[in-house]
């Protein structure tokens, strides 16, 4: 990361990032690899320049096409919940968006397969990750609620948009003992779930209330 834009100045400086990481710790994020990655990864390059000074606030921000970059706390919480357990080799991500979640997760797993339905977002995310030197993410334009069948099964799946109920295909593409982190429910009533596939059925744990954009069918 030698690009001077990545270092940041003023409101995007290392000190501002440290404050964000401290805040995440105070809110209960304990995984040091996750905290470290968030400290070292510039979030300001994932948002419009006009919003760069707000990139280290713990808040969602617009990324165009009516979508948002997730709140850092949510990215940290989901990443931590996904990593809990044996090391992950193959992770499916639904909802690439600006690519921030993929970039946080990339050095912590072997390989990511990331699906986004809006091509404008996908293309920008690809460019950013390339600039950052992230090379273990494969992207696809498509409807992530159908998963990525040719690459299945996955030992981890992480979903950044909420459906009323958890898509069947995602459950089906989960390996035995694999885990799925997914928001589900109606607007205003969504819960973040951690689902683990067992030999016989699925174990569910509710991680808490969340607010995600809807999981939309088809490619837009």
Among 12, 116, 137, 139, binds ligand SAH (CB under 6 A): 116
According to CB under 6 A, which one of 8, 42, 72, 97 is a site residue for ligand SAH? Answer: 97
Asked whether position 178 contacts ligand SAH by CB under 6 A, the answer is: no
Instruction: Choose, by CB under 6 A, the member of 100, 113, 139, 154 that binds ligand SAH.
Output: 100
Token readout for 29 is 């994020």
Q: Could you tell me which residues come within 8 angstroms of residue 128 by beta carbon, excluding any fewer than 6 positions away?
A: 45, 46, 98, 99, 103
Annotate each residue in 184-213 with x if it binds ligand SAH (CB under 6 A) or - if it does not, as one string: -----------------------------x
Q: Which is nearer to ligand SAH, 8 or 144 (CB)?
A: 144
Q: Which stretch binds ligand SAH (CB under 6 A): 18-26, 37-45, 61-69, 148-156?
A: 61-69
Question: CA distances (Å), 176 to each of 94, 105, 119, 180, in order?
Answer: 20, 21, 32, 11
- Which residue in the set 145, 156, 180, 194 belongs to the binding site for ligand SAH (CB under 6 A)? 145
Annotated catalytic residues are 70
Report the C-alpha gap between 112 and 139 in whole angstroms: 8
171 binds ligand SAH (CB under 6 A): no
In the complex, minimum distance from the CB of residue 190 to ligand SAH, in angstroms, rounded to a whole number: 13
Q: What CA dihedral angle connects 24, 50, 16 and 101, to 10 degrees?
A: 40
119 or 201, CB closer to ligand SAH? 119
112 binds ligand SAH (CB under 6 A): no
Q: DSSP label at 50? A: G
């Amino acid at each position: 990361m030698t690009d001077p834009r990545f270092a940041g100045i003023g409101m995007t400086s290392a000190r501002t990032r440290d404050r964000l990481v401290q805040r995440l710790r105070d809110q209960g994020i304990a995984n040091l690899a996750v905290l470290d990655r968030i400290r070292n990864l510039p979030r300001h390059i994932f948002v419009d320049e006009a919003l760069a000074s707000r990139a280290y606030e713990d808040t969602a921000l617009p990324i165009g096409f009516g979508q948002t970059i997730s709140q850092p706390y949510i990215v940290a919480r989901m990443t931590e919940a996904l990593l809990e357990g044996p090391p992950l080799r193959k992770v499916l991500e639904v909802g690439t968006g600006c690519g921030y979640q993929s970039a946080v997760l990339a050095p912590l797993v072997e390989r990511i397969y990331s699906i986004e339905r809006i091509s404008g977002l996908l293309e920008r995310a690809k460019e950013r990750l390339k600039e950052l030197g992230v090379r273990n993410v494969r992207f696809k334009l498509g409807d992530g609620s159908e998963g990525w069948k040719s690459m299945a099964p996955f030992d981890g799946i992480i979903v950044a948009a909420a459906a009323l109920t958890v898509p069947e295909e995602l459950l089906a593409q989960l390996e035995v003992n694999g885990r799925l982190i997914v928001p589900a429910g109606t607007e205003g009533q969504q819960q973040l779930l951690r689902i683990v596939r067992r030999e016989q059925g699925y174990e569910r744990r509710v991680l808490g209330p969340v607010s995600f954009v809807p999981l939309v069918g088809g490619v837009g």
